[in-house]
Amino acid sequence: MSAPESALLGACRDRRARVLQHLRAQGGGVAIVPTAPEAMRNRDSDYPYRHDSYFYYLTGFTEPEAVLVLVAGAAGEGDRSILFCRPKHEEREIWDGFRFGPEGARATFGFDEAHSVEDIDKLLPPLLANRAQLAYPLAATTDIDVNVRRWLDAVRMQGRAGVSSPSVAVDVRTLLDEMRLFKDAGELSTMRRAAEISAQAHVRAMRTSRAGLREFHLEAELLYEFRRHGAQSVAYNSIVAAGPNACVLHYRAGPAELRDGDLCLIDAGCELDGYASDITRTFPVSGRFTPAQRELYDLVLAAQEAAIAETRAGVPYNVPHDAAVKVLAQGMLDTGLLDRNKEGTLDDVLASGSYRRFYMHRTGHWLGMDVHDVGEYRVPGPLPAGQEGERPWRPLEPGMVLTIEPGIYVRPAEDVPERYWHIGIRIEDDAVVTSGECELITRGVPVKADEIEALMRGNGGSSR
Ligand code: GLY
Ligand code: MN
Ligand code: MN
């Protein structure tokens, strides 16, 4: 593994300082943030390793078996930022690759101290002694809880010697989620690049599409494009859904054949340097929308445009979703997907929620290191005293990144016009909230039906 860029290391140091400052404001304490465990796939073959997002956010360190410990000392005592990591090991490095080792990690990543993770049971309990508060990913995994229990037990053993153990445990993720929700310039630049790569991959898949190929052929094209631009991974399992499969929301690319006259829905994004992108495009397998497909496509696009127009600072989080739903519900009445005689007016449809038969998910989610990224969707914290009910949706603010992804999914039914049966369409772009119009970072792949048809016109010829 190469050393990360100094801008990332500087950002990580600043984030650790914010956590320490927060701990001190709470009376001092210790934060423990472990990275993710390695996971076995079958027998002794493991899944490709992916660090924990919180841990990476604070360290930039991607090796497994590492734990960050932040100690906010009492007044007069300095803060300490301590990494526990795998020791250097000549033989293991021959088999598995380079390890920084504690000394290399400390020097490269800028921790105050670093130790072998093999010594953590000996070195960590004294750090917890006489601290008021412990912050860690509370009840996140059994492993973490068991380890914390063992470290606390070791401190409690010192009780008769007058040593106290933390009496307050808080979830460190509450603070980190709020920090992660607002992306800094470095994060935004990585996310723009991830979005560009993913957009290029969608272009490639559209150009490759033709009847007779199978879904996994297009998945292979996506992966090729991700990897050849340096993305480490997919951000989530790619959906390549031909024809009726598009109506299965979490479909995976499989062996289904792409058929002339059908649509193909691709929801795929790469992960680059720890950050996700998330794009969906729906296009005709052979490059021409049928009239019914085009009708619904333009409806979903109009819904997306309505949501995009409401994606700006100051607007509550639910407003883009509500704007998309309104356009979709009106379209369902206009096309006859919803029967006016049974469902009534637009207001009736919105009130009854009958549009959910064809649009059953929300219009977006936060995006960041995790594809469904962390962060509260409602105003954080408890409701003011005396108030009851749900907290209000939080207003969008510059630096937040979210997806805008309306769709329509029509399963066959007697009361649904047959020309729409099996059509599944979603259009998804990634947006950065700014003080003005949102910045769409995924428009390297066309979205208008005419532009998609123009891009695909060469398919079957030399342009492939
Ligand atoms: N690809 C996951 C999502 O769109 O939410
Ligand atoms: Mn999404
Ligand atoms: Mn998606």
Q: Across the chain, what does the average pLDDT equal?
A: 96
**pLDDT score at 461:** 42
- How are beta strands 80-85 and 113-116 bridged, if at all? parallel
Q: Which fold has domain 182-456?
A: Creatine Amidinohydrolase (3.90.230)
Q: Please give the order of strands across the beta sheet that includes 439-440.
A: 401-404, 429-432, 439-440
44 a catalytic residue: yes
Q: What is the CA(112)–ligand 3 centre distance, in A?
A: 40
Q: Which of 266-280, 358-372, 376-390, 433-447 has the lowest mean pLDDT?
A: 376-390
Give the number of the atom of ligand 1 that is nearest the alpha carbon of residue 267.
1
Give the ligand 1 atom nearest the CA of 365.
5
Closest CA to 353 of 380, 332, 334: 332
Mean pLDDT of 234-260: 98
H/E element holding 276? strand 275-276
Q: Is 58 left (phi over 0), alpha (psi -120 to 50) or beta?
A: alpha
One-letter amino acid of 97: G
User: Which residues are placed with Cβ below 5 angstroms of ligand 2, an ion?
Assistant: 278, 403
Banded pLDDT at 387 (limits 50, 70, 90): confident
What is the C-alpha separation between 144 and 50, in angstroms, rounded?
17
Of 405, 420, 429, 430, the catalytic one is 405
Do residues 59 and 10 lie in contact, with contact meaning Cβ atoms separated by under 8 Å? no
**Catalytic residue status for 361:** yes
- Split at pLDDT 50, 70, 90, the class of 463 is very low
Determine the Cα–Cα distance for residues 22 and 28; give it in Å rounded to an integer.
8
- Which of the following is catalytic: 80, 259, 288, 365? 365
- 409's tokens: 């999914």
Q: What are phi and psi of 352, to 5 degrees?
A: -80, -25
Give residue-wise pLDDT tens across range 316-335.
999 999 999 999 999 999 99
Q: Which atom of ligand 1 is nearest to the CA of 428?
A: 4
Distance from the alpha carbon of residue 269 to the mean position of ligand 1, in angstroms: 9
- Higher-confidence residue of 75 and 44: namely 44
Ligand 1 lining (C-beta closer than 6 Å): 236, 267, 278, 365, 371, 405, 428
Ligand 1 centroid to Cα of residue 278, in Å, is 6
Distance of CA 298 from the midpoint of ligand 2 (Å): 20
Q: Given a cut of 70, is residue 339 above it in pLDDT?
A: yes
**Percentage of the chain with pLDDT > 70?**
98
- Which of 365, 427, 429 best tests ligand 1's pocket when mutated (most atoms within 8 Å of CB)? 365
Instruction: Find all residues with CB under 8 Å of 373, minimum gap 6, and list them.
Output: 180, 181, 276, 365, 366, 367, 401
Q: Which of 336, 374, 379, 273 is nearest to 7 (CA)?
A: 273
Nearest CA to ligand 1 atom 4: 278
Cβ atoms < 10 Å from Cβ of 166: 20
Looking at 310, 428, 429, 430, which residue is catalytic? Answer: 428
**Domains 6-180 and 182-456 agree in fold:** no
State the pLDDT confidence band at 1, using cuts at 50, 70 and 90: low
Atom of ligand 1 nearest to the CA of 361: 5
Counting ligand 1 atoms within 8 A of each CB, the residue from 234, 237, 372, 425 with the most, and so the one to mutate, is: 372
Question: What three-state secondary structure class fits 36?
Answer: coil
Q: Is 274 left (phi over 0), alpha (psi -120 to 50) or beta?
A: left
Q: Of 22, 99, 312, 426, which one is the catalytic site residue?
A: 426
Ordered DSSP codes for 411-456: ---TTS-GGGTT-EEE-BEEEE--SSSPEES-TTS--SHHHHHHHH
Residue 114 confidence (pLDDT): 98
| Whether residue 462 has pLDDT greater than 50 | no
Instruction: Summarize pLDDT for 88-128 with one digit per residue, the tens.
Output: 999 999 999 999 999 999 999 999 999 999 999 999 999 99
Task: Taking residues 440-462, report their average pLDDT.
Answer: 89
d(CA 287, CA 461): 12
Residue 464 has pLDDT above 60, yes or no: no
Whole-angstrom distance, CA of residue 174 vs CA of residue 194 = 27
User: For 51-74, how does the pLDDT look when each residue is reduced to its tens digit (9 = 90+)?
Assistant: 999 999 999 999 999 999 999 987
275 is catalytic: no
Atom of ligand 1 nearest to the CA of 426: 4
- pLDDT for residue 459: 74
User: How large is the average pLDDT for residues 332-353?
Assistant: 98
Q: How far apart are CA 220 and CA 243, in angstroms?
A: 19
pLDDT bracket for residue 261 (50, 70, 90): very high
> Average pLDDT for residues 362-373, to the nearest whole number?
98
Q: What is the pLDDT of residues 279-289, one digit of tens each?
A: 999 999 999 99
Q: Is 409 a catalytic residue?
A: yes
Q: Is pLDDT of 458 > 90? A: no
pLDDT at 77: 79
Q: From CA 404, how far away is CA 414, in angstroms rounded? A: 31
For 6-180, CATH number out of 3.40.350.10, 3.40.50.620, 3.30.830.10, 1.10.3720.10 equals 3.40.350.10
- Alpha-carbon gap, residue 6 to 109, rounded angstroms: 9
Let me know the angle formed at the C-alpha of 35 by 31 and 36, rounded to the nearest 5 degrees: 140
**Residue ranges per structural domain of the chain:** 6-180, 182-456
Annotated catalytic residue 229? no
Take atom 5 of ligand 1 and give the residue whose Cα is closest.
372
